[in-house]
Amino acid sequence: MVLRLFIFIVVSITYSIAQESIESNDVGVPPSLEICGVYSTHNEWLPDAFITNAECACLKIPNNPEANVIREILIARLDSVDLLLKDEAVKMKSLLVAKEISRFKYNKYVKSRITPIIYRDHLIAYQQAGCSADPAPYFGWKQITTKRIKNCNLVWFSIRFFGGSCSGRWGRW
């Protein structure tokens, strides 16, 4: 009788833990090439440097509930960016491609109009994901949106060691 009760309790606890684990992993979206490739689908208006850096960050942050919620929110917010701003950004990017404006002028535009929105969206995503820290400081976003980091491992390294981790703990996500 005691053995049956013990087995019943162990099985019940194990089932409960398994259910919580399933539910917690079912939150947000996990990293994948398909999910993180969404930034490239916005290439007509997003800065190329940001697309590369965002795809790397999307793939490198872990597959855990907080990171998955952040991914889901950021992807949803891309689609909700004001259409007038997107149109303006498309025009500026096409002027850059046509060499009618300099890279300096384009980056100045990005820093003044696009970077604030991207940063705000990250603040919202981190807050809604329940992170105990904020994303990287704003001055870092001016670089992230205008300068491509050539190696995805460096993107992940910079998130963990220079600000942007969900935990706020140096060297950890």
Residue range 126-172, pLDDT digits in tens: 999 999 999 999 999 999 999 999 899 999 999 988 888 999 999 89
In a domain, 108, yes or no: yes
HSE-up of residue 99 (Cα within 13 Å, Cβ side) = 0
In a 10 Å sphere around its CB, with 0-12 CB exposed, 13-18 middle and 19+ buried, how is residue 130 labelled? Answer: exposed
Using one digit for the tens of pLDDT, what is the confidence trace for 81-106? 999 999 999 999 999 999 999 999 99
Predicted structure pTM score: 0.82
Indicate if the pLDDT at residue 6 is higher than 80: no
In a domain, 170, yes or no: no
Using one digit for the tens of pLDDT, what is the confidence trace for 33-83? 999 999 999 999 999 999 999 999 999 999 999 999 999 999 999 999 999
Indicate if the pLDDT at residue 8 is higher than 70: no
In a domain, 115, yes or no: yes
Indicate if the pLDDT at residue 5 is higher than 80: no
In a domain, 169, yes or no: no
pLDDT value at residue 162: 87
Q: Compute CA distances 121 → 8, 88, 105, 118, whole Å.
A: 47, 19, 24, 5
In a domain, 13, yes or no: yes
In a domain, 31, yes or no: yes
What is the count of structural domains for the chain? 1
In a domain, 28, yes or no: yes
Indicate if the pLDDT at residue 3 is higher than 50: no
- Domain of 63, in residue numbers: 2-162
28 contacts 65 by C-beta, under 8 angstroms: yes
In a domain, 57, yes or no: yes
